[in-house]
Each structure stands twice: as structure tokens, then as C-alpha cells.
Amino acid sequence: MPSLDDLRKRITSVKSTQKITKAMKMVAAAKLRKAQENAEKGRPYSEKMNNVILNLSKSITDKENAPKLLVGTGEEKVHLCIVLTADRGLCGGFNTNIIKKAKSYFEKIISENKTLKIMTVGSKGYDQLKRQYKSYILDNISFKESKNINYFDADKVGKIIIEKFEKNEFDVCAIFYNKFKNVITQIPQEQQIVPLNEDKNDKDDSSNDNDYEFEPDEDEILSNLLPKNISTQIFKAMLENSASEQGSRMTAMDNATRNAGELVDRLTIEYNRSRQAAITKELIEIISGAESL
């Protein structure tokens, strides 16, 4: 049985924790709005990029000589996995969900006796993966310094990937991130970016009729465009990730605040009860003392 003093201390401590989580929730809510806006603003670019690539790849007739970034190296022995996580914790299952998704993919690759290479973006992912997969991790990139997500950061990652691809260091590249659905739901995603997975559900066959004029030729445009597309995909993933991170944190902090509130209520009742019990006990002592006289 904790003493009254102990209870009082607990209550104050829980209350101050509650204040912190509440503040974090509000900060996350404000940041979320911004991140969501950014994600929406960034969408036209990646959509248009996809469109152009779709149109281009349709018009490529010579599949044999098509750029390797599009069709792959013909093998799939070495897998490079880019795991995008947050730099900060306290955001619920956000980081863990990505890691879980990535780990199941890693296990699959290892069990198939293929070579696994990992690059992490964001320090939390590195922290969680280094225990188990230290020997596979090539590099950890963190953009803690940049306040906002910007394209140049994504471009840096993209350039590293392309450099590695040109040196034939991997055959398949996949990225892992959280897709933002709404504040409560974020879906961990696995997306293959090299070779480019063609969308099976090409809905707009109408664009087939459009014969584009290419200047210079298709191959050259594609080889110029595909590296850019990788950066764009990573940028998109980063935007989605940041919106997801804030959403996830907001929900987590909201829950924490509510839990703290419940805890305070319970502790207060316990405090009052034991205070009352102490008073009653004293009264009984006084009365029985008076009676015995």
C-alpha cells in the first residue's frame, strides 16, 4: 500500500507526462497538415512522370536493347532494399511496421539464397535493423538536418542507387515506406523500383493511339528519364512517409494522453480512499480511546 505522499507524487508525475504527450500531439497535428499538403502538392509530378514513362515504354519496340533500369539486368540475384523510416521515435507502430514488412522480405531473400544489401534512410530504421542485419547494411543516410523534406535529399539517395546500379552492384531494388491512407491508418508498402514494374492494369488504352514524336529518340529520353524517376519515387515515398509519421505520432500521442487521464483518475480515487481510510482509522482510535476511559 503506497503512502499518501507516494500517491500524490505519482499523480503529479503522470499529469506532467500527460502535458507533454498532449503538446506532442498538437505539434504533430500541425505538422501533419503541412506534410499532407506537401504530399498532395507533390503528386502531380510523380503522376505525370509515370504517364510519360508509360507512354515511352509502350512505344519501345526493341525490348532487348531497352535501358536496363527499365527491364532489369536479366537476373535477380542481388537485392538492394532501401528502408525509409523516421528519425524520431514516439510515433506508435510507424517504424516497427516498416521494419516488420522489410524483415519478412529479407527473410524471403535470404532463404532463397540470394544476396541481400540494405540501405536505411532515417536513423530509427538503422537502429532497429543493425542488431540483426548488421552485416548486410551498406549505408545509413539521415536527413536530420533538413527541416523539410526536399527533392534534393531524395535526389541524393537516387544518385547513390543509380551509381550502384551502374557498377552492377545489384539487380533488383525495392523501397519500403508507409503509405498514408488517413490519420489512423498507414499501410507499410513494398515497392520495386528497379527494374520498373509495369502496371498490369493499363487502363488508358486511348493513349495508345497517340503517336508521340520523340526528340531525340525513345532510348535516349528513357535513359535520361529513368534515373529521374527513381529520385521521384523516393521523393514520393519520403513525402508519404512524413505524412504517415506525423499521423501515426498524433494518434499515438492522443492515446497516451487519454491513458494518462485514466491513470490520473484512478490514482486520484485511490488517493482519496486511502486519505479517508486514514481519517476513519484515526477517528476509531480516538473513539475507542475515549471509551476505554
Partner 1 sequence: MSNLFNIDIVNPEQSFLSKDNVFEVVIPAVEGEIGILKDHIPIISFLKPGIIRVFSESEEQSFYVEDGIVEFKDNTLSVLTSSIFDLKDADKNFVSESISSAEAELSKDNIDDQKRFLLNHKVEVLKSISIN
Q: Select 109 or 239, whichever has its Cβ closest to partner 1.
A: 239
Q: Select 42 or 188, whichever has its Cβ closest to partner 1.
A: 42
| Residue 240 identity (one-letter amino acid) | E
Q: Select 52 or 110, whichever has its Cβ closest to partner 1.
A: 52
Q: Active-site positions?
A: 91
Smallest separation, CB 159 to partner 1 (Å): 12
The DSSP letter of residue 228 is H
Report helix, strand or coil for 196: coil
One DSSP character per residue, 102-159 reads: HHHHHHHHHHTT-EEEEEEESHHHHHHHHHHHGGGEEEEE---S-SS--HHHHHHHHH
Cα(289)–Cα(286) distance, integer angstroms = 5
Smallest separation, CB 209 to partner 1 (Å): 10
Binding site for partner 1 (CB under 8 A): 38, 41-42, 44-46, 48-49, 51-52, 55-56, 150-151, 154-155, 210-216, 221, 224-225, 228, 231-232, 235
Contacts of 218 (CB under 8 A, 6+ apart): 56, 59, 60
Number of CB atoms found within 10 A of residue 185's CB: 13
Smallest separation, CB 266 to partner 1 (Å): 48
Number of CB atoms found within 10 A of residue 107's CB: 11
Report helix, strand or coil for 147: coil
Smallest separation, CB 44 to partner 1 (Å): 5
Smallest separation, CB 55 to partner 1 (Å): 7
Q: Select 215 or 291, whichever has its Cβ closest to partner 1.
A: 215
Tell me the C-alpha to C-alpha distance, in Å, between residue 186 and each of 21, 95, 154, 234: 21, 11, 21, 17
C-alpha cell, 119: 540501405
Contacts of 278 (CB under 8 A, 6+ apart): 4
Smallest separation, CB 14 to partner 1 (Å): 42
Contacts of 133 (CB under 8 A, 6+ apart): 106, 116, 118
The answer to whether the beta carbons of residues 83 and 99 sit under 8 Å apart is yes
Report helix, strand or coil for 189: strand
Cα(188)–Cα(186) distance, integer angstroms = 7
Q: Select 53 or 252, whichever has its Cβ closest to partner 1.
A: 53
